[in-house]
Amino acid sequence: MASSTLKPLGAALLLAALAWPVSSPAETGPAPATATAPIPRTAEGKPDLSGIWQVLGEAEYDLEPHAGRRDAPPGPGVVDSGTIPYRPEALAQRQRNFEARGKDDPRLKCFVLGVPRGVYYQAPFQIFQRPADLTLVHQFGNQVRTIRTDGSLHPAEQHQELWLGDSRGRWDGDTLVVDVTDFNEETWLDRAGNFHSEELHVIERWTLIDANTIDYRATLDDPKVYTKPWTINVLLHRRRDRGFQLIEDYCYTLDYAPFYPHKEGK
């Protein structure tokens, strides 16, 4: 009796699955904001990116498509072209980084995550927006970044090799376009050892596709490491948990935790 009961049920499930509508690739991308789904705006009429945001996905583990491994879940990748176009010598360095990822990842040393890694790292960050700038405060490592939108240019002095680069933004319609230059070479792009040099140049595009979702795209160019520019794309989601706020994560202080607070004056 069990067998005769299961066969019709299995056939019904199969027919239901075949009848289920399948979206084409064009239908699965982020939908633009519409009149029925307005985006928040500032008093000046610009899209308001203020809020606490966090990525859902596996980009932090590896930007490229990857199978699951002991230190990372599987992921489809976020590189538009599928793989990062490394120069041969840089690809060899990336492989060395991968093999030493358990000790050499700057994240493990609580260094600043850098740009763009801080955006898709799996911890929240908060955006404070004013007419002349945006300030990004990241939960991990107290990373604070300023994007100037006052029309000012990059400093004339070059090669300062900043951890977060120098960010200058402008509005292209409802998209914030940010030009970031003047990096050092100390940060990685993910836990798999993808990296850059001090010649890195990043163009970010931040677009609200609805009130609670940002479409984030970053194009990376580095002639010392890559054969051509390449682009990543992730979605950022507004944290709407009741009472949610950033919690200080000064991980570089953990080594000193056993010694504090002082006891008996020692």
Q: Are 55 and 215 in contact (CB under 8 A)?
A: no
Say how far apart CA 174 and CA 143 lie, in whole Å: 26
Contact 165, 180 (CB under 8 A): yes
How distant, in Å, are the alpha carbons of 134, 209, 262 from that of 49?
9, 11, 42
> What per-residue confidence (pLDDT) applies to 2?
41
The pLDDT tens digits along the chain (266 residues) read 444 433 443 444 334 433 444 333 334 455 555 445 689 999 999 999 999 999 999 999 999 999 999 999 999 999 999 999 999 999 999 999 999 999 999 999 888 999 999 999 999 999 999 999 999 999 998 899 999 999 999 998 878 899 999 999 999 999 999 999 999 999 999 999 999 999 999 999 999 999 999 999 999 999 999 999 999 999 999 999 999 999 887 776 666 566 667 666 55
CA angle (243, 58, 60) in 5-degree steps: 85
- C-alpha 262/C-alpha 266 separation (Å) is 6
24 in Cβ contact with 206 (< 8 Å): no
pLDDT at 12: 44
Rg (CA), the chain: 22
| Ramachandran sector of residue 142 (left: φ over 0; alpha: ψ -120 to 50; beta: rest) | left
